[in-house]
Amino acid sequence: MKKLMKKNLSTAAIALLLLCVADLPGRSEVQYAGIAPNPAAPVRTIIDKRPVLHAEGIKFGAYDPHGDFGAQANVATEALFLPWEDVDLETLRVADAYAQARGRRNLLITVEPWSWDVDWRLTSAELRAKVLRGDYDVNMRAIAQMISALKSPVIVRWGQEMEDKSGRFSWSGWNPQDYITAYRRMMDIVRQEAPGTELMWSPKGEPGLQAYYPGDDYVDLVGLSVFGLQRYDELAYNEHRTFSEALKQGYDLVAGYGKPIWVAELGYEGGDAYMKPWIETATLKQSAFPNLQEVVYFNDRDVHAWPFNLGRPDWRVVKSLAN
């Protein structure tokens, strides 16, 4: 088994770049529903597309390796992604201090059960066998022990988007019972080493996710992934989807569990007319989603290419003036 090795994470970047939020009038998302796609190139003048934070709205958090939200108030959660191999766990202390200094309420730690070095990655079958055999218990235990020493309240999100069939993640598409066994094994370790840590079960939001539900005792929060890419919507749906339309399928599939629901990963990209509804409504409380408690923006370029040869979308809120 490969041991934990040192590699710095860009979790708590210190850059404090802030640009003004676009001056957008308050509107209901209903006004944008059903907008027909325009085949012409989208007009883009917005250089800062961060979501509008509404008073009395949904709480907001961010995965922010560039530090674009570093000086922004009302960011409840600092999110980070952590492979369980080739990582320096001391970076968790850095993220904790960063969050504490900025008054962030939570750390949301997504633990990805692989290495970020593609040359180290196992096949899906190899990874499944080793996890179920207990070969990676020591990795998870080391992470949980470090979590127990942090000052911030922590939420652990392990093996996200498990029902996805695209092959994006080595742990996605496993036999549901194998995934449930692995998830419970890892979360039992978290509970042993870091009592009080909340557990987030985080499907992508696709049909079939119910088969992967590990049981109420192993879920404190449910996290979904919600992304909006204009050109993808045009090719896949022949229409522009709003935030509510993109969220609805996954939300409806998990609402019956009665758990607090988060959008654990949020991102959008396109022209002004496409993005404005997302910017204005992502943190707006809506009666259709009564259990939605927080949205967490993924403030970086996607690490995977999208279908239709669309490449890796850039979800980052600040658009370079040089582009």
Res 39: pLDDT:
55
DSSP code at position 134: T
Res 40: pLDDT:
59
Q: Note whether 250 and 224 are within 8 A (CB).
A: yes
Q: Note whether 17 and 68 are within 8 A (CB).
A: yes
Res 87: pLDDT:
87
Pair of tokens at residue 34: 């059903």
Q: Is 51-298 a domain of CATH 1.10.760.10?
A: no
Res 320: pLDDT:
58
**CA 205 to chain centroid:** 12
Position 281: which residue type?
T
**DSSP-assigned states of every residue in 279-314:** HHHTTS--TT-TTEEEEEEE-SB-SSPBTTTTB--B
Tens digits of pLDDT across the chain (323 residues): 344 443 444 433 333 322 232 333 333 444 444 445 555 568 999 999 999 999 999 999 999 999 999 999 999 999 999 999 988 999 999 999 999 999 998 999 999 999 988 888 999 999 999 999 999 999 999 999 999 999 999 999 999 999 999 999 999 999 999 999 999 999 999 999 999 999 999 999 999 999 999 999 999 999 999 999 999 999 999 999 999 999 999 999 999 999 999 999 999 999 999 999 999 999 999 999 999 999 999 999 999 999 999 999 999 999 754 44
Res 119: pLDDT:
85
Task: Please name the residue that has the structure tokens 């235990």.
Answer: 141
**DSSP-assigned states of every residue in 139-197:** HHHHHHHHHHT-SS-EEEEES--TT--SS-STTTT--HHHHHHHHHHHHHHHHHHSTT-
User: Which residues, listed in sequence order, are joined to residue 82 by a DSSP beta bridge?
Assistant: 111
| Spatial distance between the Cα atoms of 317 and 322, rounded to a whole number of angstroms | 15
Res 37: pLDDT:
54
